[in-house]
Structure 1
Amino acid sequence: MALLSLIIALLFERYFHTGSSEEREKFSNAGWFVSYQKRLASSFGEQSWFKGWLAEAILILLPVLLIFLLFESLEDGFLSSLFSVALAVVILVHCLGPESPRKSLRGYFSDIANDDEQGAYEHAAKFAGKEADDWEQTQRMVSEAIFTETQRRYAAVVIWFVLLGPAGALLYRLLDWYLANNPEGSLSAPLKTVMDWVAGRVSALAYLLAGDMASGVSRIKKQFFNLNVGGMELIEATGVAAIGPILDCETQQKQKVAENLCALKLTERTGVILFAFVAVMSLLGWTFF
């Protein structure tokens, strides 16, 4: 059912991305999680035990546990299977996105086409969350952000959906939302690090298959099994190294952002490989859901 759920969720993604970003964000915003967090804080915030890792565990793991128990409680049968698939699709669509990196970079590419270098720098800084000193650094910064944002918004969610079912996808997204405002979380930060480490290795292998394997392997062979190398760090290194064979895929007119355009193409090709990975895992019965 994991493969069927993913196919339906991706069809929804394709439909939403043809419309406005606001329409898509309605299905992936963290509004309910913020309200839930405020409700818990108002109810138990003054309690001495509601602090640190225990408060984070209740906040993040409780919804995940409820989803897990709900799926585990469903009996075999057509209606139960139909409900399971429908609920899994809802959770997946909620956890994916809310916007593809290609769509997020429309303003950046538009500014480049219009020779608005300052506007391009501003769009690049907004997308990557940091600034660069010159254009070469800016283009590399955007490429690295393309890989990490694709991982955060899509690949990691899909990988944990396969490994732990809908509860795994939800857990990853809740950690991502929580850490956006609480980066020093005593429980959430190390848990997210572990999840990124695992998902990053799976995605790195997919990038090697989709791009320049020789260059990628030589770049990351010492980092792949290193526990101190984070998942996002590995993704950046692998993605940049694997761009090699498609770097000439753009026309001369687009040379100024050729690396960025090829990075987007590489993430899309990698997505196909990850989809094939889900298909094989599902057909072999090795998925959790």
Structure 2
Amino acid sequence: MSFLVLVLVLWVEQFSSLRHRLQRDGFFLGELVRLERSGKVHPWWSLAILVLAPVLVLALLLHVLQPVAYGLLALPVHLLVLIYSLGRGDAKAALGPFRDAWRRGDEQAALHVAERDLGLAADDPRDLLARVQGNLVWQAYQSFFAVIFWYFLLGPAAALGYRLLALSAANSHQPALKERAAQLRHAMDWLPVRVLALSFALVGNFVSVARVMLHEVLNWHISAGQLIARVGRVADDIPEEEEAQSALARLDSLWELLLRSAVLWYAVFALWTVLL
């Protein structure tokens, strides 16, 4: 059933607006603000309420539904939870205003748009382009690859837990709670980001990726964002110095690298499903 759900998610993503209707975080963010304002709840207890409790409720619900009607009642729950657990927004579409400003040669506008729409800042335009390229790979990873990895490995409860941790880390205003959520998310990112890096090696420049991963594969301290941005650039053969317009065109080639990796993942998932 897991592979069927993954295929349905792709269909919904391409041909339906269900994702945008489902991904409403108002209740969760309201509870986060309420717990932070109380000031009486330990950060670990806050995360238990915000993340662990919904995950356990979902796991219990699926345990009850799974034996009913050969699991058909659990199928829509799997689908809805996985769609909710995907990242927010459209990473590729968000680059539109930045692309327009850069093509016009308006570097100041490009810097402003990157800070406004992508949350990226840089003093040098070339450095900004590298940051934008890395951000595209990171957003694709955390929005899609990490979620489907945990879904296929441990089910919808793990995918939901990943997204709730990401929302907690991104929206918390309490330093201790934000730090704990980021630590747990870093732990959940450790394995899937390295699997995606291996995928980049198989569909991109194998030698360059292997050279980077040889030093970083067991490095616990490097963040998932830094690792996947660096590996993505070397997998796509992006040089340190290149023409501005060529660097902008690299956004499309990076997207193609991500699409090839997604095809590879789905092929592996399909093969795994057939063999088991």
1:173 aligns with 2:166: no
What is the Cα deviation at residue 130 of structure 1? 2.6
1:53 aligns with 2:44: yes
1:100 aligns with 2:90: yes
1:267 aligns with 2:261: no
1:191 aligns with 2:181: no
Question: Matched residues in 2 for 1:262 and 1:82: separation?
Answer: 40
Q: Please report the TM-score for the alignment, with normalisation by the length of structure 2.
A: 0.87
Question: Matched residues in 2 for 1:168 and 1:131: separation?
Answer: 33
8 Å CA contact 2:137, 2:228 repeated in 1:
yes
8 Å CA contact 1:139, 1:260 repeated in 2:
no
Q: Among 58, 67, 73, which residue is 1:67 paired with?
A: 58
8 Å CA contact 1:208, 1:216 repeated in 2:
yes
1:213 aligns with 2:203: no
8 Å CA contact 2:147, 2:159 repeated in 1:
yes
8 Å CA contact 1:24, 1:99 repeated in 2:
no
Q: Among 144, 148, 151, which residue is 1:158 paired with?
A: 148
What is the Cα deviation at residue 39 of structure 1? 6.2
What is the Cα deviation at residue 273 of structure 1? 1.6
Question: Matched residues in 2 for 1:172 and 1:75: separation?
Answer: 22
8 Å CA contact 2:56, 2:157 repeated in 1:
yes
What is the Cα deviation at residue 76 of structure 1? 3.0
Question: Matched residues in 1 for 2:226 and 2:25: separation?
Answer: 26
1:35 aligns with 2:26: no
1:86 aligns with 2:76: yes
Gaps of 5+ in 2: none
8 Å CA contact 1:207, 1:238 repeated in 2:
yes
Distance 1:231 1:281, change over 3 A: farther
Quote the RMSD (CA, aligned, Å). Answer: 2.6
Distance 1:116 1:63, change over 3 A: same
Distance 1:133 1:72, change over 3 A: same
8 Å CA contact 1:57, 1:187 repeated in 2:
no
> Secondary structure of the residue that 2:222 maps to in structure 1?
coil
Question: Matched residues in 1 for 2:34 and 2:125: separation?
Answer: 46
What is the Cα deviation at residue 4 of structure 1? 0.4
Distance 1:145 1:127, change over 3 A: farther
Distance 1:24 1:67, change over 3 A: closer
> Secondary structure of the residue that 1:169 maps to in structure 2?
helix
1:135 aligns with 2:109: no
1:201 aligns with 2:191: no
Q: Which amino acid aligns with 1:163?
A: L
Q: Which amino acid aligns with 2:24?
A: N
> Secondary structure of the residue that 1:100 maps to in structure 2?
coil
Question: Matched residues in 2 for 1:3 and 1:92: separation?
Answer: 12
Question: Matched residues in 2 for 1:192 and 1:84: separation?
Answer: 27
> Secondary structure of the residue that 1:267 maps to in structure 2?
helix
**Number of aligned positions between the proteins:** 270
8 Å CA contact 1:139, 1:259 repeated in 2:
no
**1:239-282 residue CA offsets vs partner (Å, 9 max, x unmatched):** 111012xx69xxx9952512222222212221212222322333
- 2:21: which partner in 1? 26
Q: Please report the TM-score for the alignment, with normalisation by the length of structure 1.
A: 0.84
